[in-house]
Amino acid sequence: MDLDDTPEQAAYRAQVRSWLEEHASEAPILQGPDAIRDEDEIIAARRVWQGKLAEGGLAGLTWPKEYGGQGLGPIEQVIANQEIARAKLPGILDAIGVGMLGPTIIAHGTDEQKSRYLAPLLHGDEVWCQLFSEPAAGSDLAAVQARARLQDDGSWRLSGQKVWTTNAQFAAYGLLLARTDPDVPKHKGLTMFLVPMDAEGVTVRGLRQISGEAEFNEVFFDDVALDAGAVVGGVGNGWGTALTTLMFERVTIGLGSEGMGYNSTRFASALAADEHARRDPEVRHRLGEIAAELLAIRFTGYRTLTALQKGQVPGPESGLAKVTLVSGAIKAGDLIADVLGPDALQEGSEWAYMISFLPGLKSAGGTEEILRNTIGERVLGLPPEPRLDKGIPFSELRSKEGAPA
């Protein structure tokens, strides 16, 4: 039982822990000398494991029961994530699909779309990817230039490019935002589409990271044919549909942070094995700062859970938790590498992957710069950054925007 659990939550935690202990031997081994090394085998094993988690009621906990979920709240989702991390077992493979795209289809999809896509998505039979960002449309999502043209028979033809697309290399489907009417204001001329990733004209190219993986991809669409049933949320309503996805993205990142394994207890345990580190005041000071940041995230997460339980949507301030989590984990990785030396970076080490993976995570869900600007302007009420590209002197810009020059 967690010290913060109510009796009901403690009972649910015990139920989750019991299921995980019973089925732990069925989970794929992803770390250590016996870990699976082949990427295709890893994906296949994790798809099967996601199916088992779904059968055990530990995937899509907050989905309505009629769509295969458990109809539970965000607190139960966090408890499940905590217990999966505690057991050192992998979570679901398709966190984007289950956490963000499935809920978007539930909210905006047709009955036929829900019937066809939700069950395979939940069980890992069909992995999904989010096709939003473009080379010139990242922070300004409404500026997307991928075009879908309506044909005489009601079908569509899609052309354009997306980038930084996670899991596109093995996804079966993608949820894509495209411009369908260039003659109206940019927020109004957008439509959301379901895109088969094996369709003729779809090309996926991996973007190799320092970890050696190509988790992110750029995806090209060359006159891809889509039928009329590929539209999600109605023609011209893409912006409203996309906002639903982005809302669930914030919630998914917030709820998932408890299960990422970036906690001070884990880091302290690694350092405690080194006698010199235990006595070194600098190591203790650095670890204390990291622990304080991660503790702040935990209680910020509790506030987010309270808002969700009340039916409220977390605001842009929730982005600060992501910034702080990644920053704190990077600092922890640096500290562990400083203490353990080259052993921390050996292939198969539990720290090697984390240290090489985290820099890329700084861009996921919005870059740190964009998130800080959003929080500064929309939460703290600070003036926007100077628009130097328009040639306006800094002092004049601040005066025009009502701030002291």
* Alpha helices (H) in 184-280, listed in sequence order: 238-256, 264-272, 275-279
Task: List the structure tokens of 225.
Answer: 């044919």
Instruction: Quickly count: other Cβ atoms within 10 Å of residue 13's Cβ.
Output: 19
CB-based contacts of 369: which residues, under 8 Å, 6+ apart? none
CA distance 178 to 189: 9
Cα gap 380→360, rounded to integer Å? 27
Other CB atoms within a 10 A radius of the CB of residue 203 amount to 12
What residues have CB less than 8 Å from 185, skipping those under 6 apart? Answer: none
Q: Cα torsion for 81, 83, 89, 93, to the nearest 10°? A: -20
Q: Is 226 helix (H, G, I), strand (E, B) or coil?
A: strand
Give the residue numbers marked as catalytic.
249
Cα torsion 194, 110, 149, 239 to 10°: value is: -80
Residues 296, 298, 301, 306, Cα dihedral to 10°: -100
CA-CA-CA-CA torsion for 88, 93, 94, 96, nearest 10 degrees?
Answer: 50
d(CA 326, CA 214): 19
Backbone angles phi, psi at 355, to 5 degrees: -65, -40
